[in-house]
Structure formats: C-alpha cells, structure tokens
Structure 1
Amino acid sequence: MTPHELSSAVSALRPRLLRFAHLQLRDASAAEDAVQDTLLAATERARQFAGAAAVSTWVFAILKNKIIDEFRRRSRQPQAAGDIEQEQGLEDALEEQFDERGHWVSHPTPWADPQASLEQKQFWAVFEVCISGLPEKPARVFGMRELLGMETTEICKELGLSASNCWVLLHRARLGLRDCLSRRWFGES
C-alpha cells in the first residue's frame, strides 16, 4: 500500500474514529483531540505499517492507546460536582428497582431476538445515546472493560479503584444500559 493510499484510508476512517472516541471520552473536544493525535501518529508511522492487519484495525489500536492516555490524564484530576450528582441520580434510580429486602421489584423481561438487534445499525446509535447517558465513571469503566478490552486489574490501576468498586461500577453501567436499551430500543416500559 502506498503512503497516499494509506493516508486516504486513514482519512476515510475519521468519522468512525470520532464516534468511538466521543463514546468513550464523552467530550467532543477531547474526542477531536484524540482523533487528531491518532491521525497524526498514523501519518508519522505510515512507513511502519506492514499491512499485517487491516488499516482500520491498526488505526483503531492507535486510537485505543490515545483514549487510555486520556483516561490516565483525567484520573489524576479531581471529580467535578456535576459528575457526583449524576452518579447519585443513578444510585437513586437503582434503589427504586429493589424492595426493602433487596429483591427486584420488577423482573426484566427477556428480549425477543438480541442477536438480530445487534446486527442492526440503528441499535448502535441507540447504544451510543444510552452509554452517553450514564454517569462518567461507570461509563468509563464499562468502555474500558467491554469496548477497549482492558483487564479489570489494569482498569483499577489506571483509575485508582479497588476491584470491588470496579465491579460495582460495571454492574451499575450494565443496569443503566439495560434499562435504557429496554426503553429506547426494545420498547419496554
């Protein structure tokens, strides 16, 4: 692949890169910065691209590292008051799902055909809305674990969390996603 072809292929990926970065970082300017850094790094390393993987796989690997770097930078900053309030709102919503003995008030209904839903392009747009609606910390932990494929120990180290806190955040994110997807995608009330 010539440098020009590689550059064209990388540029064509920009919208997908931006969506993914925004989904993970939940900040348009941070996502734009991560994508710009990714495109710059891909351009600078074009000669190192051996073609052993698809261009998209190679570029998304670079973006993944840029996002992880941004998570590290953010983890060194104090949490904003708005994030704490948003997290409290999720906790209150979760409490309403259980009775005083800790049992589910209403059991979730099984989804009709989840595999078919996953294959639909619109599902991912709704998924993006749902994950963007989660508080930052649970969404970040979920994204690092499920979308970036990081190990729990690695996430805990990066974000300064205990393993139990990490699992609680993952659980909250999954419950929040399930609730949102049940309403927005599967039409449950």
Structure 2
Amino acid sequence: MQNKLDDSNIAKSPQPDPLSWVGKYADYLFGFAMSRLRDEDVAKDLVQDTFLAALQQLDRFEGQSHEKTWLTAILKNKIVDFYRKRSASAIKDLKVTGAEHEQQDFFDAETGHWNQKHRPQAFGLETDNPLMMKELGGILNDCLTKLPVLWLSVFSMKHMDDLASELICTELKLTAANFWVIMHRTKLNLRACLQKNWN
C-alpha cells in the first residue's frame, strides 16, 4: 500500500510561455483595457506594461492559475494605478455640498420621488432585438467616453470589475462621501446622455 501522495498525478498549469503572449492574449487584454479606459493609446500602453511586468515577475508565477488569468490580474492592477494617478487632481475639484444641492432639483423633498421634469423616461427597448442592443451599446460607449476620468474610473471599478465600494475608496484615496457623489453624478450624466441620443 502506498502512503505517499503521488505528485505525478497532480495537474499543474503549464509554465508560462512569454513568446506566445502577444499572439494569444494581446487582443483579449486590449479589449479588457478598452472596456474600462475608453482610450486606445492608454489601453495599448497598459497592455505593453502588463507584458513587461509579467516578464519581470516570471519567477513568481506558481502555476496556480492559467497564464491568461495571471496576465489579466496584472493588467487590472495597472488600470487601478492609472486611475489613481489620474484621479488625484480631480478629487480636489469635487464638492459634496454641490451634489446635495443638485439632488434637490431631481427629487421631491417630501416624498423622495423623482420630480416630473427629471423623471427617467422609458427607452422603448426590445431586449430580444440584437441590432437594437448593439446600437444602445454603441451609444452607451460614446456616453462613457465623455465622462471625466475620475467618474469613469469609479464607475468602471464598481460596475465592470464589481469591486467593493470600500476598496475603490482605498485604491483611489476617496472618502465615502466623494465616492457616492461621483456615482450619483455619473448615473445622472449617463441617463441624460442616453435619453438625448437614443431615438
């Protein structure tokens, strides 16, 4: 009877192959970066930085995950670093009291319901129509590109990467109040842009 664990039966991820990364993962990583940054040049730069960082950390790859997952994790960190650097100056201009005043225009003070003028309008969207969904996706993408970088950073981290609000505040050095102001303004801005551009 064999008491020792046979290491040969344990499946490990193959060693990363840096020579194949560009061919295998560049398009995927670029698409991932573009969906969060909306800036082609920055996305290309961060993908290149990801490959370089992965080469420098090659000895740390333990095979616990697929190399695509590992590269994506490195890219996520690069994106967060980019957000952090770009958002530092934008935080100074953010005024919480101004956002509270803005909300008074949108909501009834007594009931908390939308005022008639600012009430969201129905889009008339047929979710089973792929052409309509593609058109809406294009309009949403255009609206996202118009957002200030800090707003896009917070929105992407929250709704695309599904990060906890506390983690976003820590990463971007935001207060909880600033975070909620940004989310509020972003949603109002996106709603207005979609309603304006959707026929």
1:6-155 map, 5 Å: 7-45=19-57, 48=61, 50=63, 52-53=65-66, 55-76=67-88, 78-79=89-90, 98=106, 103-105=115-117, 106-109=119-122, 111-114=124-127, 124-155=137-168
For the 8 Å contact 1:17–1:60, the answer to whether it is kept is yes
1:113-154 Cα distance to aligned partner (Å, 9 max, x none)? 447669956654443322111122221110121122222112
Percent identity, aligned pairs only? 32
Where in structure 1 are there 5+ consecutive unaligned residues?
A: none
Which residue of 154, 157, 174 maps to 1:161?
174
SS in 2 for 1:38: helix
Q: Say what the alpha-carbon RMSD is for the aligned residues.
A: 4.0
Where in structure 2 are there 5+ consecutive unaligned residues?
A: 1-13
1:61-106 Cα distance to aligned partner (Å, 9 max, x none)? 2110111122233344x3499xx6xx9xxx8xx78x8489671414
Letter in 1 for 2:81: D
Match of 2:7?
none
Name the larger-Rg structure: 2
Q: How many residues align?
A: 175
TM-score normalised over the length of structure 1:
0.66
CA distance in 2, matches of 1:8, 1:45: 16
CA distance in 2, matches of 1:118, 1:156: 37
When residues 9 and 29 of structure 1 are mapped into structure 2, their CA distance, relative to the original with a 3 A threshold, is closer
SS in 2 for 1:149: coil
